[in-house]
Amino acid sequence: MLELKPPLVLLSGPAGFGEYLKLMDHRYVGGVLLKTVTLHPKEGNPTPRMADSDFYVINRIGLENPGIHAFVENVPELPVPMIASLGGDSFEEYLEVARVFKKVADRFHAVEFNFSCPNVKEGGLSIVKNAEEWKKLLNTLRKELPDSFLIAKVGVEGIFVEDAAEFVMKTGWDGITLVNTVRGLHFEKDTMILGGLSGPVLKPIALRAVYEVKKRFPELFVIASGGVYSVKDAEEFLKVGADVIGVGSALFKDPGVVEEIGKYLLEVKR
């Protein structure tokens, strides 16, 4: 089982490779879900890559990352538990990334596979929409990393989260992260930004997803991701059964909120 104290993680993407830890008391951070790493290095998308409004943040970073080979040669050393996040553009890439990652797997408390990045051409969305292919991939990755705590990150596009959770359970995976950003479109003056929507507007969608999945599969470990900006948000995700609370884009507004939520979680989960 993945035991994090407090059950709070900084989420993949906004948390980068742990840079935010410089701004917070580590006692209140249960772990960091590192930025998604792919087989080949990615430069990411042209700018503008992000915009915000009163209710949401939209980003199209495009998974900029150094690639799995550079990553395993230079694994970050952080003062809190680390969860790796791995991605790919095809079945073969996911498998190859897992094979390379094996060398350093014992340095991570868990590994999340990102099956839902909306900001790259393939990025997992095309894999989950083909259910048979995805189940085959889940089985293959489970065999490739038999000792790792495996978490699948899925969004609400391309598949029903209840079905995704069932596949994850049946293929022997340990957990699921619900949800990723949702594809959206934002105008910044005359520039269109087509990217992943996060922030407070995502919370009702993520709450529903966690609620439905935990109702059907209470034993499945769930990291809740989507619109956690306050202690009240964390409280609501606990009510629907989340095992771990993820904080993502709220880091951009106020990294101090992590300590507030962390203190609360330490108190209620003592």
Partner 1 sequence: MERLLLTKKKTIRVNEDTWIVLFEERIDFSPGQFVMLETPKLVRKPFVLGYWEDHTAISVQVKGKGTKWIVEEAEKIKGHGPLGNGFEKPGKGLLIISPTCLTMAEALRKKMNVDVLVGSRTPFQIPLEHETAVGDEEFLRKLSSTGEYDWYLVSGSRGMEKVCWEHLRGKEVYFSLEEYMGCGIGACKSCAVFTKEGVKHVCTDGPIFRGDELCWS
Catalytically annotated residues:
117
Name which of 103 and 253 has its Cβ closer to partner 1: 253
| Cα–Cα distance for residue pair 260/263, rounded to 1 Å | 5
CA distances from 92 to 40, 100, 124, 128, 158 (A): 12, 12, 12, 14, 20
Per-residue binding letters, 26-65, with partner 1 (x by CB under 8 A): ---------x-------xx-xxxxxxxxxxxx-x-x--x-
By CB under 8 A, which span of 17-25, 74-82, 163-171, 203-211 interacts with partner 1?
17-25
Number of residues this chain uses to bind partner 1 (CB under 8 A): 36
Local structure of 149: helix, strand or coil: coil
By CB under 8 A, which span of 18-26, 95-103, 174-182, 260-268 interacts with partner 1?
18-26
Q: Are 132 and 123 in contact (CB under 8 A)?
A: no
CB of 149 to partner 1, least distance (A): 24
For position 19 contacting partner 1 by CB under 8 A, the verdict is yes
| Residue list 166-225, contact with partner 1 (CB under 8 A) | 199-200
Name which of 203 and 214 has its Cβ closer to partner 1: 203
Q: Residue 252: which H helix or E strand, with range?
A: helix 250-253
By CB under 8 A, which span of 10-18, 78-86, 98-106, 260-268 interacts with partner 1?
10-18
Name which of 40 and 49 has its Cβ closer to partner 1: 49
N-terminal to C-terminal alpha carbon distance within the chain: 17
Name which of 64 and 166 has its Cβ closer to partner 1: 64
Q: Whose CA is closest to 198, among 211, 210, 216, 186?
A: 186
For position 254 contacting partner 1 by CB under 8 A, the verdict is yes
Q: Are 64 and 44 in contact (CB under 8 A)?
A: yes
Q: Are 36 and 93 in contact (CB under 8 A)?
A: no
Strands (E), 53-198: 57-59, 82-86, 110-114, 150-154, 175-178, 182-188, 191-198
For position 74 contacting partner 1 by CB under 8 A, the verdict is no
| Cα–Cα distance for residue pair 10/146, rounded to 1 Å | 25
Name which of 60 and 153 has its Cβ closer to partner 1: 60
By CB under 8 A, which span of 15-23, 78-86, 167-175, 234-242 interacts with partner 1?
15-23
For position 7 contacting partner 1 by CB under 8 A, the verdict is no
Using only C-alpha atoms, the chain has a radius of gyration, in whole angstroms, of 17
Which chain residues interact with partner 1 by CB under 8 A?
13-17, 19-20, 22-23, 35, 43-44, 46-57, 59, 61, 64, 199-200, 249, 251-256
